[in-house]
Amino acid sequence: MTDHALPASASKAATKPLVTVHRVLMAAALLVLLGYFVVYVAFAANLMQFPFDYDQGEGFELVDTIMFSQGQWPYQDTNVYPFYSSNYPPLFHVMAAPFVWFFGPAYWYGRLLGFLGTLVTAAAIGYAVHRETGHRLVAVLSGLAFLASNTIYHIGPLFRQHMTMVMFETLAVVVLAHANEIEDRGRRRRALALGLGLILCAGFTKQLAYATAIAALAFLFIRNPRRGIVWGMGFAATGVLIFLGINVATDGQWWLQTITANVNDFIPDQTVGLFRLWFSLHGFLLVPAALLVIYEFYFDRLSIYALWFVAATANGILSGKWGAGDSYFATAIAALCLLSGIFMARTLQGQWRFPSNYLSRLLVDPFRRFGKGIGTAALVVVPLLYLGYGRAVLHMPTTGPVFGPIAQFLGLEANALNGFYDSAGRIAGGYADIGHFTTEDDIAAGWEIVELVRSAEGPVLSEEAAFNLHAGKDVITNPTQLLNLAGNGMFESDGLLSMIRNQEFELLVLRAQFYPPDILKAIGEYYRHDDAIEMNGFEYLILRPKSDLNP
């Protein structure tokens, strides 16, 4: 922790006690963020042992993976049995498919891939900060700050493709940041091809990567218009060819399921709530990141990092769509951790340069005489910003031999399931309730539902795929995808409605009841509640045909 540099002005003006205070505070910040990393690793290990859906939809990600491992497209016609389709691009599931060949259907490897993706992203953030500033400790803090975010903690270890997208986006931005400065033509071309290829990988992992594509192409155009246009055309042509190829291979289901079905209702209050949550958790780092963007805009050249941050933040508006959530800010969090790290390191090392212009004469020159004092104050302010961020994102178990005493010392009381404290609270405007650890009772409850499914004769309609997969039965429908399609008038429900009205399902398992309205209405008419089993904080309703139950 002594390898970081001090600003020239501060190192001369600061007293030895102040330098000592700086180092103690930086060590404290490092300790706090390392503590969150320990919680994150423990959470990931806990989830990898949980054999059921933790966040609704994980099971359908697994079904997509299984289908790819069998050489099938998951973009199917939802109007015919088993009424199943996916609304996500293929790359994450293709990456996970080889695990199916060796381990069969399981959740742990998808969660492992998501978790490892966040570690790669954190390492890329740290690398970029160190490359830009040379400050190793701030580089480490920047990477750890990304992993400490409640949002990243929540979704990082899930069997979801979102964090793999962010990994590809971050790697692409880091590769492209200085690609134009490479003098060797061959190396420059390879860097450009790699960077843009990584953005294609991000886009075919999840559609939200389009914001990063816009930022990267804008950056390349600003730095070298001719080169930006040529490479941009090649990038667009490659992406369109891949897109059209998949669409042809799936008889048009790719367009229907991944584009048309994603036009969902927009809920303004949800967007406002999520933006407020994002700022309240990340404000200590968001402000330095924004200041660096302003500095580049008025006093320096805009970096790809700044354009990326602006595009990713603007893309957060889409968090107001039905089915969206705080995960839509994950890319912006990666960008703000990187930018704030550069800002912190430059401040500590006195690396700010203000060219002489009307703005510097108006806004900077009056404060030049305070330069030494500002540099000295930075020794305390910078670590305090990281400590403030650590307090804002506070999340940890409040029980157990390790976390229990710490929680008691901090005066924390659980505000989430299974004795967990989370400063994010319940996700604004959404239905997700994640971040807590699972228990043996949760696992036992899941196997209880599996036994009910296994003992049922014929097909079982379950809102989550895990129970059918473990019981060896067909996974029937992806309910949220049916709801998306129905909302856009793209789902013909006659086939599924017929099975429900004919009571062909001996058993139904419901949780959030995200089926289209006409499906839910039919379920209410022809099935009745038989039991309820609580797992992971949610009540799973067991329904049977009305004719099979006593009135």
Place of tokens 């991944």: 258
512 within 8 A of 433, measured Cβ to Cβ: no
pLDDT of the residue at 263: 80
In a 13 Å sphere around the CA of 403, the CA atoms on its Cβ side amount to 21
pLDDT number for residue 16: 83
pLDDT at 260: 86
**Could you report the per-residue pLDDT of 215-232, keeping only the tens digit for each?**
999 999 999 999 999 999
Q: Terminus-to-terminus CA distance in the chain, angstroms?
A: 72
Is a pLDDT exceeding 80 seen at residue 449?
Answer: yes
Confidence (pLDDT) at 446: 97
Is 375's pLDDT higher than 80? Answer: no
Average pLDDT value for the chain: 91
| Exposed e or buried b per residue across 12-35, where buried means at least 16 C-beta atoms within 10 angstroms of its C-beta | eebeeeeeeebbebbeebbebbeb
Mean pLDDT of 436-442: 95
Residue 498 and residue 496: Cα distance in Å, rounded?
5
State the average pLDDT over residues 184-191. 96
Residue 273 or 197, more confident:
197
Give the model's pLDDT for residue 6.
41
Question: Rounded distance, CA 497 to CA 503, Å?
Answer: 10
How sure is the predictor about 324, in pLDDT bands with cuts at 50, 70 and 90? Answer: confident
State residue 377's pLDDT score: 86
- pLDDT band of residue 428 (cuts 50, 70, 90) is low
pLDDT at 56 (0 to 100): 83
pTM score:
0.94
Q: How confident is the model at residue 535 (pLDDT cuts 50, 70, 90)?
A: very high
Strands (E), 458-537: 460-462, 507-510, 527-535
What pLDDT digit, counting tens, does each position of 347-364 carry?
Answer: 998 887 777 776 766 666
Q: Indicate whether 391 pLDDT > 70.
A: yes
Q: Look at residue 105 in the predicted model and tell me its pLDDT.
A: 96
- Mean pLDDT to the nearest integer, 305-334: 93
- Sheet strands side by side (includes 527-535): 460-462, 507-510, 538-545, 527-535
The pLDDT score that the predictor gives to residue 441 is: 96
Report the C-alpha gap between 541 and 272 in whole angstroms.
33
Mean of the pLDDT values across residues 329-355? 92
Contact 110, 163 (CB under 8 A): no
Placement of tokens 């009381």 in the chain? 413
What percentage of the chain carries pLDDT values higher than 90?
Answer: 79
| DSSP SS3 for 201 | helix
Do 282 and 389 contact (CB within 8 A), yes or no?
Answer: yes
Given a cut of 50, whether residue 5 has pLDDT beyond it is no
Given a cut of 90, is residue 551 above it in pLDDT?
Answer: no
| pLDDT tens per residue, range 392-413 | 999 999 998 999 999 999 999 9
Q: What is the pLDDT of residues 57-66, one digit of tens each?
A: 899 999 999 9
**Confidence check: pLDDT of 429 > 80:** no
Question: Quick check: 90 and 246 in contact, CB under 8 A?
Answer: yes
Q: Judge whether residue 522 has pLDDT over 50.
A: yes
The three-state secondary structure class of 512 is coil
Residue 213 amino acid letter: A
Binning pLDDT at 50, 70 and 90, where does residue 265 land? confident
Structure tokens at 345: 């390191």
Of 115, 75, 7, which is closest to residue 377 (Cα–Cα)?
7
Model pLDDT, residue 363? 66
Residues 6+ apart with CB under 8 A from 460: 453, 467, 468, 471, 473, 476, 505, 506, 507, 508, 509
Residue-level pLDDT at 1: 37
Element (H, E) at 545: strand 538-545
* Amino acid letter for position 284: F
- pLDDT in the model for residue 298: 85
Residues 6 or more apart whose CB falls under 8 angstroms from that of 363 comprise none
